[in-house]
Amino acid sequence: MSDAMFLSSPLVMLNWRRPRKQLSGSRSHCSSSFVVGHATAHCDDSPLVAASPSPIMAGIGSHGGFAPVRNLLNPKFDSYLLSALDQTTLVSSHPLPAPIAAPQVPNSVYLPFHDVEYRIRHNHLTVSDGRVVYLSASYEVIAAHLDPATCQPIFSTIITLPKPANLDPPLFSEYPAIRAISGNVLAISDGAGQIHVVEAESPQNPGSGVLLDSYRLSTGEEDDMLPFRMHHVRLNKDEVHCVVSVSTRIQTPAPTSSKAAPSKTAYRLMSVSFKLPKVPHPGIQQLTVDWALNSSSLPLLLLHNPSAQRYIIASAAPFGAPAEPPPPDPQEDEIAPIPRPEENLNAVPVPAAREARPPPYSWTQAHDAVTVVFPLPSTTEKGSIRVLFSQQNLTLLVSDRGGGSAIPLPVYVRKPFWDGIHADTSYWTWEREAGSGSAVGLLTLHLDKQHEGTRWPHVFAASGTAEAGEEDVEVPETVDPSELAAIREQLEKWTASLPSEENAGLGRGVPSLLDGEMDEEVDEQVGSRVVFTYVSENGEAHCPAPLAPVDLLSIPLEHTAPSAVVKHTLDGLVFTPPTNGSPEEANYAWTHTATYPALAFVLASKRDVKFTFHHGPDLTLAFEGGTGKGLSIGGNVYMYKGAGGRSTAGQAVLRVSGGEEGPLMGVQLARLEGGKEALVCLCEKGLVVVRDVLGW
């Protein structure tokens, strides 16, 4: 085994006891008599009566459509056993004939987080007709055909494309992308607003290809192209449909004001189409835009489901139809009166400022719960309070039997929460008198978070948004004074240590992996939290569970069966997408087919992972980016085999990037003659081939 393998290999044996989440079946209280639900509790340890669970969305539960199958889980799994693979026998490296096309962003352009994340995860390599293909910095389409016996790549230049014109800031070129349309016909996005259709010769006859046609996405002005990212390409008869995305800036006006508000970055996902050319066509054609959707994030996974005739998109935020800008709603002091003859506008009385009303409630939150407190008159009877919890919304009604209450009574009918709750374990209490002689009582809602660890910015979904109504006052969270004091103390210690020589700068404040063996519970922070949007081929979008995200651990290798690996406790569950369904009766339930035991646990320790792919239920591959400065640090691929119900499974590690090869830029699985498969890794300076990736 090489030294690099010893330096960065995962644990040989992984033994742990699966944690059991403690259920809040009973709680201890010590206060005056108060109401819990519809029963009266006193100062004892009596179990509380929780609100009854409410019905959930048809076909979608709290799992967001990813329901685990108990029989496919593997609670008896014990460990991954490390297999010592021969690096020199299985891995070979070959220098690239030309550097990779990776346009840089000008320093004057601000790049939002989702743009940076997408560029990091962009795969510069594609596979087509038995060979891997990439685009060089001089816009040469370079193919590498692997010899079936030796896996030695044979490089050839298919065609040289015209270089795109330079874009003026704030526009900048996106990363180019290559997708196979059918057979040896490729769709190549240059990143600057054009798609070139190229017909390549067969791998056995390398040589020059043919440029069939070029298409552009324009802003409408002459010679003004719009750069885009190309995510997916499919062929329907003789029509080619490409899913692309562009960055836009949208205004976010205040809900009750016509004053200009700062804009924010949004992403428009579009389906563009063109006829598949049969013979070369001169000039540049215009792309036809079929439909467009908006989101605040970019796709992390995009699949096409032919049987259901729809796309499946995983992203941090759902995609939906572009919203119409709200009409201006000026305040009284923003309306300028129309002057009349000989009228002194200075004499017009200025409307009195509105009296600041106290917030309708106060709230605070913990890691797993949200507490909301409503002030009510102390004369309120418990029978006058009606509280109904459901997974996504709240119904709260308080009747004023005495009449003439000086305190506004809350009225919420199916008011959506910002995130989901556990309705069966949430409850409410009523304290008739908040203090001695007080005329105000406190109605307290105790909400158990459906997704523990998720920080709520608001209690209700509409607060702070353009859809907020008059009752959606933005109420800031009340933070416990002791918590504020602890934060202040930590900041004072940190800032006080900066000027000292021992802790000068920020680097020394971060402990090494061996310093104190700090436990950060990294297994809780693994994967990408996403929701799934289902888009029909004509552009109708639906996100059935926008408030029930899942943690996406891995996406399938290109040209393998469509699937997704989703986190479940410490495991990674393999799900296949719903295939049946129609626009009238759509199906959104994924099927649990296999389990990678403890996959979330082992992936949590990988901090430089660039790609995570899986080959069905057989193998999961986690690739480091290979950006470490040392020649023997990073650049590994960690391989985990499926357990298939056994108590142990194999794991291995190989060096595929970093060092002389440079950072990892792309990964593909190449199928060779004879049924074998090779893993091809495109690095900045070389092409790394791993032989027989499934045979160890």
Q: Kindly list the domain boundaries of the chain, sorted by start residue.
A: 82-322+525-690
Amino acid at 321: A
Question: 12-21, 188-197, 244-253: which range is least confident on average?
Answer: 12-21
Amino acid at 261: A
Q: What is the pLDDT of residue 594?
A: 97
Question: 398-412, 554-568, 583-597: which range is least confident on average?
Answer: 398-412
Q: What is the pLDDT of residue 526?
A: 87
Contact present, 197 and 211 (Cβ < 8 Å): yes
Q: What is the pLDDT of residues 399-421, one digit of tens each?
A: 876 666 677 888 899 999 999 99
The answer on pLDDT for 471 being more than 70 is: no
SS3 state of residue 124: coil
Question: 85-94, 272-281, 398-407: which range is least confident on average?
Answer: 398-407
Sign for the CA dihedral angle at 172, 178, 181, 184 comes to positive
| The two structure tokens encoding residue 530 | 């996403």
Q: Considering only CA atoms, which of 186, 192, 180 is closest in space to residue 209?
A: 186
Question: 125-129, 202-206, 352-356: which range is least confident on average?
Answer: 352-356
Q: What is the mean pLDDT of residues 5-13?
A: 37
Q: What is the pLDDT of residue 345?
A: 60
pLDDT band for position 589 (cuts 50, 70, 90): very high
Q: Considering only CA atoms, which of 295, 139, 164 is closest in space to residue 227?
A: 164
Cα 252 from Cα 687, distance rounded (Å): 46
| Cβ neighbours for 470, distance < 8 A, ≥ 6 positions apart | none
- CATH domain 82-322+525-690 topology: Methylamine Dehydrogenase; Chain H (2.130.10)
The answer on pLDDT for 301 being more than 90 is: yes
Q: What is the pLDDT of residues 189-203, one digit of tens each?
A: 999 999 999 998 765
Question: 29-38, 317-326, 517-526: which range is least confident on average?
Answer: 29-38
pTM (2 d.p.): 0.67
Q: What is the pLDDT of residue 696?
A: 75
Q: What is the pLDDT of residue 436?
A: 58
Q: What is the pLDDT of residue 45?
A: 35
Q: What is the pLDDT of residue 109?
A: 82
Average pLDDT of the chain to the nearest whole number: 80
Q: What is the mean pLDDT of residues 79-92?
A: 93
Q: What is the mean pLDDT of residues 450-454?
A: 86
The answer on pLDDT for 74 being more than 80 is: yes
The answer on pLDDT for 556 being more than 70 is: yes
Cα 290 from Cα 273, distance rounded (Å): 7
Distances (CA, A) of 169 to 108, 201, 219, 225, 227: 8, 38, 15, 13, 12
The answer on pLDDT for 36 being more than 50 is: no
The answer on pLDDT for 222 being more than 60 is: no
For the ranges 51-60, 171-180, 426-435, 576-585, the maximum mean pLDDT occurs at 171-180
Q: What is the pLDDT of residue 120?
A: 92
The answer on pLDDT for 388 being more than 70 is: yes
SS3 state of residue 4: helix
Question: 32-36, 97-101, 529-533, 671-675: which range is least confident on average?
Answer: 32-36
Beta pairing class for 185-189 and 239-251: unpaired
The answer on pLDDT for 566 being more than 90 is: yes
The answer on pLDDT for 95 being more than 60 is: yes
Q: What is the mean pLDDT of residues 5-31?
A: 38
Distances (CA, A) of 371 to 42, 367, 447: 20, 11, 6
Cα 49 from Cα 52, distance rounded (Å): 9
Q: Higher model confidence: residue 598 or residue 499? A: 598
